[in-house]
A and B are shown apart, each in its own frame.
Chain A
Amino acid sequence: MAEGVRARVKVPGNATAGESVVIKTLISHPMESGQRKDSDGNIIPRSIIHRFVCDFNGQNVIDVKMEPAISTNPYFEFEATIPESGDMHFTWYDDDGSVYEKTETVTVG
């Protein structure tokens, strides 16, 4: 299910050194749980994003292990410490092997 997957992240562009900023992420994905049945009664196979990682300049902020109980279009909100200017890197890992990535730059000034 790699079609139409669009990741959106909300990261402040500026921060003061050592500040804790709120990060919001949303990625469009059906998160098929593997519990649902189609109209013929066949189980629709599981297809979810099973891991989400956020790093800043190579250092880990949060690493989430996701199960089928996460809703469609997974949303996460968390906080990150910004020690210096750099890139915030977001990665989502799909069951089908796809990897979705997004990078945002934060400037400390």
Chain B
Amino acid sequence: MELTRRGAIALGAGVAATLVLPIRAMASADAAIAEFTGGAEMGEGGLEFITPEIAENGNTVPIEVRAPGATAIAVFATGNPTPKVATFNFGPLAGAQRASTRIRLAGTQDVVAVAKMADGSFVRASNNVKVTIGGCGG
């Protein structure tokens, strides 16, 4: 196959698009996380984030967050069309800073939990979940 100028441009555009798309998805997840933290630095530790290693059905993936001393925990799915998943705000009568629910994942991706501690600091935990069947329809 001879590579024409037109062909080379089309090929270049295709490569650029495949490179840019995942980066854009990550950027919107980072923006959603920054919205929650206000751009603050995030530490590690003190936040337990339980997700399955492999989820057969992306429509209902069980997750659990646990962060003693947190006032709020937010969960983000970096590979979903809209990365925000849920924000748990714990009130004065919360027995433990723990919650579990079921979420949708569009495909294999990193799922991020960010906890806001009582002193105003933030900690982050990230897990990779392999999804066999995506859960966003379409």
Q: Which positions in A face B, CB cutoff 8 Å?
A: 20-22, 33, 35-37, 55-56, 59-72, 74-81, 83
Is the beta-carbon distance between A76 and B99 smaller than 8 angstroms?
A: yes
Residue of A nearest to B74 (CB): A65
CB atoms of A79 and B96 under 8 A apart: yes
- Known contacts A71-B59, A71-B104: A81-B86 contact under CB 8 Å: no
Asked whether B91 lies within 8 Å of A33 as measured between CB atoms, the reply is no
Q: How many residues of B contact A (CB 8 A)?
A: 32
* Chain A CB within 8 A of B38 CB: no
**Subset of 22 A-B contacts with CB under 8 Å:** A33-B104, A33-B137, A35-B136, A35-B137, A55-B91, A59-B92, A60-B91, A61-B93, A61-B94, A63-B89, A68-B82, A69-B80, A69-B105, A70-B85, A70-B101, A70-B102, A71-B60, A78-B88, A80-B94, A80-B95, A81-B94, A81-B95
Contact B91 A62 (CB under 8 A): yes
In Å, the complex CA distance between A57 and B39 comes to 36
Which of B59, B81, B104, B105 is packed against the most chain A CB atoms within 10 Å?
A: B104
Identify A65's interface contact among B89, B90, B101, CB under 8 A: B89
Listed residue (B93, B94, B96, B99) with the most chain A CB atoms within 10 angstroms of its CB: B93
Q: A67–B84 contact, CB under 8 A?
A: yes
Partner of A64, one of B82, B89, B96, B102: B89
Number of A-B contacts (CB under 8 A): 110
In the complex, B100 has a CB within 8 A of chain A: yes
Q: Which of A22, A61, A69 contacts B85 (CB 8 A)?
A: A69
Q: Are B93 and A60 in touch, CB under 8 angstroms?
A: yes
Cα–Cα distance between A67 and B102 once the two chains are bound (Å): 12
